[in-house]
Structures are given as C-alpha cells and as structure tokens.
Amino acid sequence: MPDADSLRAAERRLQAAQLASDLDAIDMLVDDAALLTGPDGALATKADDLAVHRSGHQKVARSEELDLRVLVHGSSGVTWFHGVLEGSLGGEPFGARLRYTRAWAHDAAVGWRVLAAHAAIVGPVGEPGHEEDGAPR
C-alpha cells in the first residue's frame, strides 16, 4: 500500500537522479504522459526533460533540500520540495531557491511516478525561506 514514507523516498530518488543526470532513474520515476511546468511557465514533456539532461544543456551541481512535505491519498500523492539548486543552463551559471510541487500516482507494478510538476523560483540562494504552518510533512 502506498504511504507517505514511500512517496518521500521516491521524491528523494528523483532529486538524486536529477543531480546525477541519471537518465534511467528519471525515466523510471516520471510517467511518459507527464507535463512539467518550469519557472518560466513553459511546459515540457518527459522527453524534453530527458533531452536536456542527455545533452548537458542543464547541469545541476548542487541540490539541497530545505523542506519536503508529502500528502498521500489512496494511490495519489503530492510532494512539495523547497530547496536550493545551483548549476548551469546553456553554459550560464544559475542558483536559486525553488519550490517544486509534484503530483504522483502509485502503480503496484512500477511504484510512484510523477504525472505533473511545477517549479517556481522563490528567492535567491541564501535568503531565508517562508514556511507555512499546517501543511502536511
């Protein structure tokens, strides 16, 4: 039965896979039909995301989790990751605090997979966060 601990573990596997540009792990953790909204509002598919990692256009050098909250309801779940990401995009350095909200579905055969994600820049590296009380952890 899917639970908060298994979803939290899946989210952390995804974070590690993105840091390492581990295409096999990203492929397993993201559903083929997933749509991802970037901080600029642009939509990307799973194939787009894999291509960015494969090409080296995006390189994540640091991913530090500041807060992770999870909610599981039946075979669905949501994660809210707040953290610091640093690296390069198209050869240009970047660094920011971001909030990722991901919708997950659990399948008994494959486990947790991302169906949708949204990323928002919430501040520069080093600026304190603004955590809301009462959200699921």
- In order along its 137 residues, the chain shows pLDDT tens digits of 799 999 999 999 999 999 999 999 999 999 999 999 999 999 999 999 999 999 988 899 999 999 999 999 999 999 999 999 999 988 999 999 999 999 999 999 999 999 999 999 998 887 655 554 445 55
18 occurs within a structural domain: yes
40 occurs within a structural domain: yes
pLDDT of residue 125: 83
134 occurs within a structural domain: no
Count up the domains in the chain and report the number.
1
User: Can you give the pTM of this predicted structure?
Assistant: 0.88
pLDDT of residue 129: 57
pLDDT of residue 137: 52
132 occurs within a structural domain: no
Question: Rounded distance, CA 131 to CA 36, Å?
Answer: 23
The sheet carrying 30-37 orders its strands as 43-45, 30-37, 111-123, 92-107, 76-89, 58-73
85 occurs within a structural domain: yes
CATH number at residue 25: 3.10.450.50
β-pairing, 30-37 vs 111-123, is parallel
- For tokens 């952390």, the residue is 12
58 occurs within a structural domain: yes
pLDDT of residue 130: 52
11 occurs within a structural domain: yes
Domain that holds residue 93: 4-123
Candidates 31, 38, 85, 46; CA nearest to 63 is 85
Contact 114, 102 (CB under 8 A): yes
pLDDT of residue 134: 47
43 occurs within a structural domain: yes
